[in-house]
Amino acid sequence: MTRLTRTLGPVMIWGLGVGYVISGAYFGWNLGDHRGRRTVYAAGMRILVASALVILLAACGASRSTYARHPGAPLAFDRAGTKPEALEIADKVLATAGGAANWEKAKQIRWRQAILRDGKPAMSGQQAWDRWNARHWAEVDRDDGNNSGVMYEIYGEYRAGYVLAKSGSKQPVTTGEVVAATKLARSAWQRDATIAFAPFLLEEPGSKLEYVGTVKDDATGAEYHELKLTFDPKDPARAGLTVHVYADKTTFVVGRVELETAEGERYAYTLGGYQTVGGLSLATERKNLGSGEVVKLSEIKVGEVDDTLYMAPIF
């Protein structure tokens, strides 16, 4: 006589029940509608609603967990590909300037800058480098009190400009004016940021280091370690730049920086007036060895990004 044998226990039955609910096969959320022909349409609407909720949930998370860089940029500085003698000096220079950890925290650096020629003010303004989102903002002080400003993405297409009236209102400018202002601002950022923050760029992703040797400053008698710094050729913001960083042989404080652009322009500055802001030791004064002009930095702020600086003015 044939008999039925019970093979499923309570645990297995419970598991099947859970499977039915999860799959939606037993009156689940997507197919368990009782309205006949309208079931398919109802299921479609529910799928759309669920998809929208998932997208909104994803949008609530952080958009990025690392600093914005150019497409194809390496994720980290290539220590293995750097000669030990150059790496040893660079490590000491970076540590003296505040260290990699404090540089990593500096998502934005903002400062006021004044240029003096023959001891007299020649130009002044403000700049902000949004390292996290790769953006730059610059505002130039004008004699009539109506300052000019521009903001743009270093690796993107966004850019905007304005005139800041004495009343505090911002008026947009024409596209042609924005293009011209962006070109000037980009050149200023490339020069000013590279020189001011040279110690921290030594071990940035894509940087290439070479130890040149020791040199002696004939004017002061100081002895320096000379490091040659170049950048990733894929980096459109710094491609073609060559930087020579001169660090004191004893203290490893950077006392001189020379910069050569892809266009052949050369700049050489002595650095001084170091101040610590946000854990970073920054030179607040530099002198051009060619023209004699002096660049002074003040009101330096290091920390989180101020997104309002990069917003285009509204008519």
Question: What's the rounded mean pLDDT across residues 82-89?
Answer: 96
Side chain identity at 208, as an amino acid letter?
A: K
Look at residue 71 and tell me whether its pLDDT is greater than 80.
no
* Structure confidence at residue 72 (pLDDT): 72
Q: pTM (2 decimals)?
A: 0.78
**CB under 8 A, 24+ apart: contacts of 153-159:** 154/186, 154/189, 154/237, 155/68, 155/69, 155/70, 155/71, 155/236, 155/237
* Structure confidence at residue 44 (pLDDT): 67
What residues contact residue 207 under an 8 Å CB cut-off, 6+ apart? Answer: 77, 201, 229, 230, 231, 232
Residue 169 binned pLDDT confidence (cut-offs 50, 70, 90): confident
CA distance 257 to 242: 11
Question: What's the rounded mean pLDDT across residues 278-296?
Answer: 96
Look at residue 118 and tell me whether its pLDDT is greater than 60.
yes
Weakest-pLDDT range from 26-40, 122-136, 243-257: 26-40
What's the distance, Cα to Cα, between the start and end of the chain in Å? 91
* Structure confidence at residue 26 (pLDDT): 47
Residue 58 binned pLDDT confidence (cut-offs 50, 70, 90): low
Q: What is the pLDDT of residues 138-151, one digit of tens each?
A: 999 998 888 999 99
Look at residue 19 and tell me whether its pLDDT is greater than 90.
no
Q: What residues form DSSP beta bridges with 150? A: 138, 161
Residue 95 main-chain phi, psi, to 5 deg:
-65, -40
Weakest-pLDDT range from 37-41, 82-86, 138-142, 191-195: 37-41
Question: What's the rounded mean pLDDT across residues 166-176?
Answer: 88
* Structure confidence at residue 312 (pLDDT): 87
CA distance 134 to 107: 10
Look at residue 43 and tell me whether its pLDDT is greater than 70.
no
Q: What is the pLDDT of residues 236-279, one digit of tens each?
A: 889 899 999 999 999 999 999 999 998 889 999 999 999 999 99
Residue 1 binned pLDDT confidence (cut-offs 50, 70, 90): very low
The CATH number for 84-310, chosen from 3.30.43, 2.50.20, 3.40.50, 1.20.120, is 2.50.20
* Structure confidence at residue 69 (pLDDT): 75
CA distance 166 to 169: 8
Please indicate whether residue 286 or residue 26 has the higher confidence score (pLDDT).
286
Q: What is the pLDDT of residues 304-314, one digit of tens each?
A: 999 999 998 87
* Structure confidence at residue 23 (pLDDT): 62
* Structure confidence at residue 65 (pLDDT): 60
Residue 209 binned pLDDT confidence (cut-offs 50, 70, 90): very high
**Domain boundaries along the sequence of the chain:** 11-56, 84-310
Q: What is the pLDDT of residues 148-161, one digit of tens each?
A: 999 999 999 999 99
Q: What is the rounded average pLDDT for all residues in the chain?
A: 87
CB 150 within 8 A of CB 159: yes
Look at residue 185 and tell me whether its pLDDT is greater than 70.
yes
